[in-house]
Structure 1
Amino acid sequence: MSRRSEEKLAERADLMVEEEALRDLAAGGSGLVGLDGPGAGTAAKSAKAKSGGGRGGKEKDPARPRQPYVPARGWPGAGGGRVGYMDPPTMWRATTVQACGMWPFAAGSGSPMTGVPLGQHLFTGATVCGDPLNWFTRARYISNPSLFMLGMPGLGKSTLVNRMLIGLAATGVVPLVLGDLKPDYADTVRALGGQVISIGRGRGGINVLDPGAMGEAAARIGGDAGEVLKAEAHGRVLNMVAALITIVRGRPMDDHEQSVLSAVLHHLRERTPPGRAVLLPDVLRVLTEGPDRVRAVTLDRGSDTRYRDAVDPLHRSLLGILDGPLGDTFASETSTRIDANAPAVCIDISGIGEADTQLTAAAMLAAWSDGLGAVAASHALADAGLAPRRWFFTVLDELWRPLRAASGIVDRIDALTRLNRSLGLGDAKITHTLKDAEALGTDADRAKARGFVERAGMVVCAGLPKTEMEDLGKVVGLSRREIDLVSSWSSPPGWGVRGEDDEPPGRGRFLIKVGGRPGIPIKVAITDAERELHNTNTRWTTNEAAVERAAARIAREVARPAQEGPPPALAGGPAALALPGDPGFPAVEASAGGWTA
């Protein structure tokens, strides 16, 4: 028998019981229909009459207890009655280590079970696991260890990636947040025992000429492999300085300027003692001195005028870096180097203002250069047998902001999406909509940004408008049902009639797409520990301790006059407080040309 048939039978039984109760009431009974059946009250009255229940009759029978009406469905008692649904039982989830033997029922499920536990299937309730690295290395579901996430603000995109970050860190993967803009992940990295590096004015800086972890690894490896790593570190430093000059100028460097800069860096490396890093002021000093190695690439032919004409544009750009908005951050030694052995690393650039686009772009490029250099150094040490192999997981949240900051970041992210397999790292990129790419300056940058979604192994969608989902369906391949489902998650919450804060219907709901496979809709419920570590609305929460201190200070200020006594009397007595027209106000004689009130 189907569930609908059972519901119809139950409703029919309830109606029959109600009809019997009404007939019993009409017959003069109590209307209680219980174990004694209908008319129990009428039968009791007739029995009383037969027994001669009057003054001259026999002894009364003891009163029969009333049987309460128990409905077939719903709750008995006052205010009870039939209900159309029953509350589901509370569900608890735990690992087999925490709750071993407590779940004897085993059933197969089509949901993937490889990777970080993400949440429950929206329709079946089955556990869904997944992350870019495990789906690439173990499950072989995807051919590229990358994730691209889209969704409207406030629906939990960063929270889901934060869960992946925690789960991967537990398996030995090193999370790298190279440029945390809010910050969203600094507290999580601290809780994992990782390293948080702050970059910004008055906070810390990065020396872009410092080879960092790559230089240390090259010295440790030695031999031909060490020389190869030194050459790679030199190229990385050269590209980073060229990127800073591009940001200051607003256009790329000329080819001969890159040759001059490379010669200057080689000259400084040969003459800098071990343990000391080259600084940007050192580059200016070498350009001023003009050694033979640098003059050789300028084709000066012994003429100081030709030499100055060749290096002056580069000299002016470097002065613009040192004396401009980037000087405080990039003119000195690196405040904190990346620890290659840290379980997680976060470079926090949230101290840079949103309006300071040049410094934001430069800090992002420097953070990515330093972080990927640490990744290359780790793999070089592992290839040489000097360190265990480690995998990395990079997170780039609020992708729209670095994309608009500088075109060099687009090229760097584009290279990362193509080479992350050979680099030994997975990545997660988070943004709001595909239209974020349309705001880029050139057609080439817009085409590169659109390719991020096409090359992603996993595409995760939170709530999006229907028009955006239809555009995404042309790239990913979404069915009509998937488009309608994700579009419904972008609806706002209902009106709170009792002043309660209703959550949006799409918060914590995501659709995971892998190639042409059907999407996996999931719902994510975070724990209290995750909620404390990852609160993106900290500026909208009250600081109770500060409020209490302010209230106590105001109370002390209010109570101080009462403790000090009444204020001293004014000189002149009450007349000093009198107003014009009052009896105590001194008279003013009228004079010529004057007036009186």
Structure 2
Amino acid sequence: MTLTDDRPELGYDDPYLFETAAVQPSAFVRWIIGDTDYADLAARIANGDADEPYPYSRRGLGLMRWRNDHPHTLRAVTEAAGDPWWREALSSSARGLKGAGGGRMSTVPAPIEYEATSVQMCGLNPWAIGAAAPSAGTIVGQHAVTDDAVSCDPFAYFRDNHIANPSMFVLSLPGLGKSTLIRKILIGACGWGQTPIIAGDIKGEYIKLTRLMGGQIITLGHGGGHLNPLAGGALGQAVVRAIAARNIETDPDRIVELDELIATAKISIRTRQINAVCALVELIRYDTHSVKAFENSLIGIALRELYSEAGGFSYENPPLLKDLYNRIDTGSPAMWQAAYKTESKGYREAITELMQALGALTSGPLGDIFADHTTQPIDLDAPMICIDVSSLDRGDTTLKAAVMLSCWADAYGTVEAAHLLADAGLDRQRLFLMALDELWQVIGAGPGMVARVNEITRLNRTDATGLLMITHTGRDLETLPTEADIKTAKGFIDRAGMVVCGGLPIGEVERLSGELKFTAAEADMVTSWSRGAALRGSERRTARAPVGRGHFLIKVAKDNTPGIPIRTVLTDVEIETGVHDTNARFAEYFSGRNVESPALDDDASQMAGAY
């Protein structure tokens, strides 16, 4: 039995295409095909208005037969839907796809590619989180997921508007590569023409790097050099250069401009000298009281008289603390008036405590450092500056605090000197990158250090100075003696342009939740980096690096914006020179047991020189 179909054949342009009347399928096939208009169904599937039926259902078998018997009609329907002909849904055989364009293919056409932002694509497999990887500035390693090169450069991030100010706060447990990351950033800063300053290298971890970069190393401490808190420093030398330029200048407007700059710089120098002496006096009196108002006035008057023509001192020949001591001890009508005394006897009684503190600064351990002229003035032209204080007695908190305060005052005076020369047109505009490693030791050194660091975190953008602050955990900021200092120190994380987290314990991630937002995946990642290396059997004597060594999460925002997981990569030069090896004292122990030094990342030795 045969069935006939007397429906007229329609053109390919008609939206409804039917089988021709000449086709006479069997009754069984007709039963399978049924009354479904497969041309219409194929057109609606191509347009996305209908779903593909199950292949082995009645409609699925009928649609497959229709597609096999009407390849040209199928092509017309597909092209009308907008897809190219080679993306037709054709049935396959042992030799490839059936129909026009089918068969074996020696070259497979590339699929259509679509581009979208990380926000739009977020959540689509395999991009569970955003994977932006800035490569502007100093490249320090690779993205932990995509292997793209990633930079970690406060100045470059600030220039590209990723962060609001060029500062970075680094948190990580010991031994996971914090100092290595900072050294890589400092190396890049030298390459970009910036001047890194390590104002107080407590553990001596940056001396080798500074020497390799051809920088200046200033040693302070027992058996080291001296630092005169009354010297003008680099700022005083800048004033001398500005005065020399003013004396040969002929343009009246230019002379007025230079006079204003010089006057402002002199006031800044005098203020810094007074503050430096007062801070040292307060350290001596840490268990009594701070500097009194009239004592502050006495110090200022004495310095003014010392730098006068009668005093005989200048920025080229600055006075010492013993000269300040003698000048206050001798007194003058201005000093008597400041102490509100009209006779020498009453004056001497008023200055007794001040003279005792100044005497302590000119003798004993403090006198070994502050009682003589500065041995090595800071060189503005040095590519890197490191003030080494590693020889200080770690138990002498007063001496350590005094030296750290003086180092920071001298370093920041150097920054002001560079800006003065740039404003006067005598030198180029310089950018400085100040590294503050072991933050917990610095801010806990004594009164005034929290305020000094706080000042820098608020003004570093104005002063064209980047700031790197490094510590182990946020708990370090809670060990300060006063509640006011603790609150101020916690603000360092809030004001940091970017926060970099290495391996941290679970409790630390929860503690930081008030200042920094972690997604669940990021929290798991950071805490997983805090684990040590997996245990091995005794027959395998080579050491493995901890899981989290060299791994960090860069957070450029304090909201729920995904961070950037990276792993640092060491170059051949870094490995050969051992600039990052902080376990040098264990070298004999490691070599004796045939154990690799864990100071270098396992991945680093394999990927050295990757970029």
Question: Shared fold (TM-score greater than 0.5)?
Answer: yes
CA distance in 2, matches of 1:399, 1:280: 29
Say if 1:185 and 1:534, in contact at 8 Å, map to a contact too: no
In structure 2, the residue corresponding to 1:492 is in which secondary structure? Answer: coil
Post-superposition shift, 1:239?
A: 0.6
Measured against aligned partners, the alpha-carbon deviations of 1:226-278 in whole angstroms (never above 9, x if no partner) come to: 11101100101111111111111104211111011111111111112443111
Post-superposition shift, 1:325?
A: 2.5
Does residue 313 (structure 1) correspond to residue 349 (structure 2)? The answer is no
Aligned AA (1:226): I
**Alignment match, 2:465:** 425
Choose which of 212, 219, 225 in structure 1 pairs with 2:240. Answer: 219
Does residue 229 (structure 1) correspond to residue 278 (structure 2)? The answer is no
Counterparts in 2 of 1:58-207, with a 5 A limit?
A: 110-137=132-159, 139-207=160-228
Choose which of 260, 266, 276 in structure 1 pairs with 2:304. Answer: 266
Say if 1:464 and 1:487, in contact at 8 Å, map to a contact too: yes
Aligned AA (2:387): I
CA distance in 1, matches of 2:424, 2:447: 35
Measured against aligned partners, the alpha-carbon deviations of 1:53-105 in whole angstroms (never above 9, x if no partner) come to: xxxxxxxxxxxxxxxxxxxxxxxxxxxxxxxxxxxxxxxxxxxxxxxxxxxxx
- The alpha-carbon distance between structure 1 residues 190 and 543, as it changes in their structure 2 partners (threshold 3 A), is farther
In structure 2, the residue corresponding to 1:118 is in which secondary structure? Answer: strand
CA distance in 2, matches of 1:212, 1:543: 44
CA distance in 2, matches of 1:359, 1:542: 33
- The alpha-carbon distance between structure 1 residues 358 and 528, as it changes in their structure 2 partners (threshold 3 A), is farther
Say if 2:457 and 2:496, in contact at 8 Å, map to a contact too: yes
Measured against aligned partners, the alpha-carbon deviations of 1:519-564 in whole angstroms (never above 9, x if no partner) come to: 110111212432411221122222999xxxxxxxxxxxxxxxxxxx
Say if 1:260 and 1:297, in contact at 8 Å, map to a contact too: yes
Post-superposition shift, 1:341?
A: 1.1
Say if 1:208 and 1:241, in contact at 8 Å, map to a contact too: yes
In structure 1, the residue corresponding to 2:588 is in which secondary structure? Answer: coil
Measured against aligned partners, the alpha-carbon deviations of 1:482-513 in whole angstroms (never above 9, x if no partner) come to: 11110000011122311221110000100000
**Alignment match, 1:463:** 503
Does residue 276 (structure 1) correspond to residue 317 (structure 2)? The answer is yes
- The alpha-carbon distance between structure 1 residues 249 and 324, as it changes in their structure 2 partners (threshold 3 A), is farther
Post-superposition shift, 1:169?
A: 0.6
Aligned AA (2:512): L
Runs of at least 5 residues in structure 2 that lack an aligned partner in the other structure: 1-129, 244-258, 592-611
Count of equivalent residues: 436
Choose which of 530, 544, 547 in structure 1 pairs with 2:574. Answer: 530
Deviates more, 1:378-387 or 1:530-539: 530-539
Post-superposition shift, 1:109?
A: 7.3
Aligned AA (1:369): A
Counterparts in 2 of 1:361-380, with a 5 A limit?
A: 361-380=401-420
Say if 1:267 and 1:293, in contact at 8 Å, map to a contact too: no
Post-superposition shift, 1:305?
A: 2.0
CA distance in 2, matches of 1:157, 1:428: 11
**Alignment match, 1:295:** 336
**Alignment match, 1:210:** 231
Say if 1:136 and 1:144, in contact at 8 Å, map to a contact too: yes
CA distance in 2, matches of 1:117, 1:170: 12
CA distance in 1, matches of 2:163, 2:514: 20
Say if 2:363 and 2:371, in contact at 8 Å, map to a contact too: no
CA distance in 1, matches of 2:477, 2:590: 41
**Alignment match, 2:87:** none
**Alignment match, 2:53:** none
CA distance in 2, matches of 1:109, 1:537: 34
Measured against aligned partners, the alpha-carbon deviations of 1:180-209 in whole angstroms (never above 9, x if no partner) come to: 011111111111111000001211110000
Overall identity of the aligned pairs, in %: 40
CA distance in 2, matches of 1:283, 1:373: 21
Post-superposition shift, 1:406?
A: 0.8
Post-superposition shift, 1:170?
A: 0.3
Say if 2:299 and 2:328, in contact at 8 Å, map to a contact too: no
Say if 2:233 and 2:377, in contact at 8 Å, map to a contact too: yes
Choose which of 377, 380, 383 in structure 1 pairs with 2:423. Answer: 383
Choose which of 581, 587, 591 in structure 2 pairs with 1:541. Answer: 587
**After the TM superposition, which segments of 4 or more aligned residues of structure 1 sit over 6 Å from their partners?**
none
Post-superposition shift, 1:283?
A: 1.1
Measured against aligned partners, the alpha-carbon deviations of 1:118-177 in whole angstroms (never above 9, x if no partner) come to: 11111111111131111112x111111100000000000010010000011101000000
**Alignment match, 2:283:** 247
CA distance in 1, matches of 2:229, 2:551: 41
CA RMSD of aligned residues (A): 1.6
**Alignment match, 1:507:** 549
CA distance in 1, matches of 2:152, 2:174: 23
CA distance in 1, matches of 2:165, 2:219: 31
In structure 2, the residue corresponding to 1:119 is in which secondary structure? Answer: strand
Does residue 445 (structure 1) correspond to residue 467 (structure 2)? The answer is no
CA distance in 2, matches of 1:131, 1:359: 34
**Alignment match, 1:346:** 386
CA distance in 1, matches of 2:351, 2:579: 50
Aligned AA (1:262): G
In structure 2, the residue corresponding to 1:421 is in which secondary structure? Answer: coil
**Alignment match, 1:323:** 363
Post-superposition shift, 1:407?
A: 2.3
In structure 2, the residue corresponding to 1:429 is in which secondary structure? Answer: strand
In structure 1, the residue corresponding to 2:553 is in which secondary structure? Answer: strand
Say if 1:407 and 1:445, in contact at 8 Å, map to a contact too: no
**Alignment match, 2:89:** none
Aligned AA (2:580): H
Aligned AA (1:263): I
Aligned AA (2:192): T
Does residue 484 (structure 1) correspond to residue 530 (structure 2)? The answer is no
CA distance in 2, matches of 1:481, 1:534: 30
CA distance in 2, matches of 1:400, 1:538: 24
Measured against aligned partners, the alpha-carbon deviations of 1:281-309 in whole angstroms (never above 9, x if no partner) come to: 101111221122322211112x1222112
- The alpha-carbon distance between structure 1 residues 477 and 202, as it changes in their structure 2 partners (threshold 3 A), is same
CA distance in 1, matches of 2:185, 2:344: 59
- The alpha-carbon distance between structure 1 residues 482 and 395, as it changes in their structure 2 partners (threshold 3 A), is same
Aligned AA (1:334): T
In structure 1, the residue corresponding to 2:581 is in which secondary structure? Answer: coil
- The alpha-carbon distance between structure 1 residues 148 and 263, as it changes in their structure 2 partners (threshold 3 A), is same
In structure 2, the residue corresponding to 1:422 is in which secondary structure? Answer: coil
CA distance in 1, matches of 2:332, 2:312: 15
**Alignment match, 1:413:** 453
CA distance in 2, matches of 1:462, 1:320: 43
CA distance in 2, matches of 1:526, 1:353: 33
**Alignment match, 2:295:** 257
In structure 1, the residue corresponding to 2:351 is in which secondary structure? Answer: helix
CA distance in 2, matches of 1:471, 1:439: 14
Runs of at least 5 residues in structure 1 that lack an aligned partner in the other structure: 1-107, 546-597
